[in-house]
Amino acid sequence: MRTKNIVIAISTFALLIAAWELLAKIGAYNTFLLPPPTESIAAIMKLWREGLLQADVLSSMQRYLPGFIIGGSIGIVAGVISGISKNIQASVNPLFHYLRSIPPVALIPFVLVLFGIGDVGKVSLVAWACFFPVWLSTQAGIKQVPREYIWAADVFAVKGLRRVVDVWVPFALPYILSGVRISVATGLFALAAAEMFAASSGIGFRIVYSHQLFQTDTMVGMILLLGLIALVMDQLLYFLVKRVARWESE
């Protein structure tokens, strides 16, 4: 079944790309505004030969991965604590729901003032964007743990951190993964926006730089590359957790 789904997904992508290329070749629209896939790929390969693509991707990942790990880790811990304790949940939920409604893009000027144009601010924005989906999903998963599990833990005197590790987290793992998978994209949104505002390298920088030079083939190619990176990371995360936790998710 999984192989069939992969074949269907690849076929769908291939058909969309082929239709896009065909429409461009027959002159159905202005190809300067939206270059065909072949031109975008050629622009990306040109950057690769010049060494710029590798440098941009490396710069972006050096900012993204620390923020993703920090924000996701804090989100899991906060979600577990607020999910277990109703008092803490009542205290922090209104604040966290308020803060998560603030788009990371709106924070960029403040972060630039606070941290300057260095990578610390960009990592902080990624962490901010990744924290809230993970926190919310983790808390929801913890709240769904059946009372029978808690009663069984009481019977066997499973308490403290061991109860968290052996009872709460395993049951909430599908919810946690859902939040982490969402944060993959939200973190990249924040990173790309931050790199567009204040960076001299990175995928977001290259997108806005090529836009300023009217290099739409490079711009579209980098946008597609950003989506591909998000897709690959999402699927790697899916397979990793599925293999370790031995449960099925969609």
CA-to-CA dists, residue 205 to 34, 40, 109, 111, 226, angstroms: 19, 17, 16, 17, 12
Does 162 have pLDDT greater than 80? no
Ramachandran class of 30: left when φ > 0, alpha when ψ lies in -120 to 50, beta otherwise = beta
Does 206 have pLDDT greater than 90? yes
Tokens of 123: 């990592």
Q: Is residue 241 part of a domain?
A: yes
3-class secondary-structure state, position 97: helix
Does 153 have pLDDT greater than 80? no
Does 146 have pLDDT greater than 90? no
Burial 154-164 (b: 16+ CB within 10 A, else e): eeeebeeeebb
Q: Is residue 66 part of a domain?
A: yes
Q: Is residue 210 part of a domain?
A: yes
Phi and psi for 94 in degrees, rounded to 5? -60, -40
3-class secondary-structure state, position 5: helix
Mean pLDDT of 50-65: 95
- In this prediction, residue 112 has a pLDDT band, given cuts at 50, 70 and 90, of confident
Handedness of CA 142, 146, 150, 152 (dihedral sign): negative
Mean pLDDT of 165-190: 87
Q: What percent of the residues of the chain are helix, what percent strand, and what percent coil, each to the nearest 5?
A: 85, 0, 15
Mean pLDDT of 123-128: 95
Alpha carbon distance 78, 16 (integer Å): 41
The pLDDT assigned to 244 comes to 61
Domain holding 171: CATH number? 1.10.3720.10
Q: Is residue 26 part of a domain?
A: no
Q: Is residue 70 part of a domain?
A: yes
Domain that holds residue 70: 36-245
Does 124 have pLDDT greater than 60? yes
Does 52 have pLDDT greater than 90? yes
Q: Is residue 211 part of a domain?
A: yes
Q: Is residue 48 part of a domain?
A: yes
CA-to-CA dists, residue 196 to 45, 50, 60, 122, 163, angstroms: 22, 21, 12, 11, 45
The pLDDT assigned to 246 comes to 58
Between 80 and 238, where is the model more confident?
Answer: 80
What count of other Cβ atoms lies within 10 Å of the Cβ of residue 114?
Answer: 11
The pLDDT assigned to 250 comes to 45
The pLDDT assigned to 249 comes to 46
- In this prediction, residue 155 has a pLDDT band, given cuts at 50, 70 and 90, of low
3-class secondary-structure state, position 199: coil
Tokens of 121: 């601010």
- What total of structural domains would you count in the chain? 1
Does 204 have pLDDT greater than 90? yes
Q: Is residue 30 part of a domain?
A: no
